[in-house]
Amino acid sequence: MKKITGEIIDCHIHPFISSEHSLYMFGQDVQPSEFVRTLKKAGISKCCGSVIDPSVTGKPCNFKHIRKLNREVLKFRDRYNDFFVPGVHIHPEFPDESCDELDDMIKEGVKWVGELVQYIHGYKKYAIEKAFPVYKKISDASMVLNVHPPENPADIDELCTEFPDMKVVLAHPGGGKKEIDEKIALMKKHRNLHLDISGTGIYRYGILRYISKAVGAERILFGTDFPICNPASYLQGLLFEKLPEQDLTLIVSGNFRRLTGIE
């Protein structure tokens, strides 16, 4: 089986400093330093993601909470600056506050927005008209928007139609062929739409070759959803598909660097 000799960038992880924001599912009492060591042990060279607070799932959200998560992710960035690229939150129901927050984050050099997870922060749709100024700011700043799949795929269709120049990365391929084919159809329609392989689907043998053949390896990003998922299993699953060397390089690092502009 092939080995990757260059860097491996995990575009989809969920770090924490406060233990209340840890997404370890089985009661592990893990410190941020051990979180980082585990990723490096798996072979990850650099990673990117947002802080998630599972305790607010489905509850009404205020923007003060969004700011709190973003400040925590910046603290994690400052602590592990050579290893971690921060992803920040906005909230479609708070467009003015989200625009102000983006201004602050742009000054901090942030390039990645998300993963946004609508079911956690209490909204059902990304593409609502009052949030369009937020997405315009993301697009104009050449930031990348990473979103959890919505309940209705038409939501992503509308978002990418309204903002064809915004770089959108949809998380999680899905475990069933119908889900995967729906995402492929959207990617064929919208050249600005990409897919990260985190969370679901990688255990389906042949999935990456299937997606790559349909839309090209330049539209796929490596991600794991750590600490929810085992990062080593994702890397081995990727390698086991026997993709061409140039496709592997794009998926594990090249596409992330191209989209973010991070050298």
> Hey, which residues does 48 pair with through a beta bridge?
85
**Per residue in 138-179, pLDDT tens?**
999 999 999 999 999 999 999 999 999 999 999 999 988 999
Residue 262 has a pLDDT of: 92
Whole-model pTM: value is: 0.96
The token duo for 237 is 């699953």
Per cent of the chain over pLDDT 70 is: 99
What does the domain layout of the chain look like in residue ranges? 9-260
Contact predicate 196/170, CB 8 Å: yes
3-class DSSP assignment, residue 50: coil
Query: CATH 3.20.20.140: does it fit domain 9-260?
Result: yes
Contacts 24+ apart (CB under 8 A), 102-105: 102/134, 102/137, 102/138, 102/141, 102/143, 103/137, 105/70
3-class DSSP assignment, residue 82: coil
